[in-house]
Each structure stands twice: as structure tokens, then as C-alpha cells.
Structure 1
Amino acid sequence: MIVRIMGEGQVEVAPDDIGVLNSLDSELEAAIEAGDEAVFRVRLHALLDKVRQVGKELPEDSLEPSELILPPSDASMEEVREMLGDEGLIPG
């Protein structure tokens, strides 16, 4: 899966890593639902850090279409709330 972190670039994430990302996504979504800014910030950074850790960075000039777009690390809770789909930020 090709993932774009807004403002950073693209990484390729293996299918085997989607489960752990979904778990982190669920924790982020719960923090948003609770309106807990401090936990939201920690969960957002944990999700993005994990994507960076497990993902293989694509070259800057790569023209691969992104299958998933994630917010930047400085996104507000409201911005992330607007990006959430029925299955969170990461479907599956």
C-alpha cells in the first residue's frame, strides 16, 4: 500500500504491517471521540512514527498514486476528524 504523509512524501507499507497500523488508528480515533487533545497528539505521532518505521520510503520523484493519505504531525484534532472515513484513517 502506498501511503502519503502530508508534507513529507510517500512510503510503501507491506500488507503484514496494516494490522498494527489499524490498531494505532483505532486508538487515535478513540482519542478524537473523547476530545482528549493530549492523548490525540500522542496517538497521532505514534501512528505516523510507525508508518515511517515500517514503510519503505519512495523516491521524491516517484509518481505512484497514494492509496492512503495521512495528516501531517502538526494537524489539529478537527483536521484529522474531517479526514476520518467510516473505518478511520486506515481502512481494513
Structure 2
Amino acid sequence: MIVRIMGEGQIEIGPDDLEVLNALDSGLEAAIEAGDEETFRVQLHALLDKVRHVGKALPDDSLESSELILPPSDASMDEVREMLGNEGLIPG
């Protein structure tokens, strides 16, 4: 699966990593629902760090289609709230 982190580029992640990423995504959603800015920031950074850690960065000139788009690490809670779908940032 190809993931784009806005402002950074594309990363390829394997299907085995989706469960961990979904758990982090759930924590991010819970923080947004609670309006907890501090937890939101921690959860957003944890999610993005995990994607970077488990994934393989694609070359900048890669023309792969992104299946998921994640916000940048400095995104506001309102910006991320607008990006959330019915299943969070990461479906599954």
C-alpha cells in the first residue's frame, strides 16, 4: 500500500503493518473527539513515525498512486478532523 505524508513524499507499507497503524489511528480519532490537543499531537506523531519506520520511502520521482494520504506532522486538529473518513485516516 502506498501512503503519502503531505509535504514529505510517498512510503510503501506492507499489509501486516495495518493493524498497528489502525490502533494508532484509533487513538488519534479518540483524541480529536475528546478535543485533547496534547494527546492528539502525541498520537499524530506516533502514527506518522510508525509509518516512516515500517515503510520504505519511494523515490521523489515515483509516479505511484497513493492509496492513503496522511496529514503533515504540524497539522492542526481541525485540519485532521476534516481528513477523517468513516474509518479514520487508515481504513480497516
Scaled to the shorter chain, the TM-score interval is over 0.9
Question: Structure 2: which 5+ residue stretches go unaligned?
Answer: none
Partners in 2 of 1:55 and 1:86 — Cα distance?
Answer: 24
- Deviation string 1:58-88 (CA, Å, 9 cap, x unpaired) is 0000000000000000000000000000000
Amino acid at match of 2:12: E
Distance in 2 separating the partners of 1:55 and 1:90: 15
Report the residue type matching 1:47 in the other structure.
Answer: L
Alignment-derived partner of residue 52 in structure 1: 52
Q: Residue by residue, what CA displacement relative to the aligned partner does 1:9-31 show, whole Å, maximum 9, x if unpaired?
A: 00000000000000000000000
Q: Which runs of 4+ in 1 moved over 6 A?
A: none
Which structure 2 residues correspond to residues 1-92 of structure 1 after superposition, within 5 A? 1-92=1-92
> Which whole-Å CA distance do the structure 2 matches of 1:17 and 1:44 have between them?
17
Find the residue that maps to 2:10 and give its secondary structure: strand
Aligned to 1:91, the other structure's residue is in SS state coil
AA partner of residue 15 (structure 2): P
- How many equivalent pairs are there? 92
Cα separation, 2, equivalents of 1:61 and 1:55: 17
Per the normalisation by structure 2, the TM-score is 1.00
Paired letter, 2:78: E
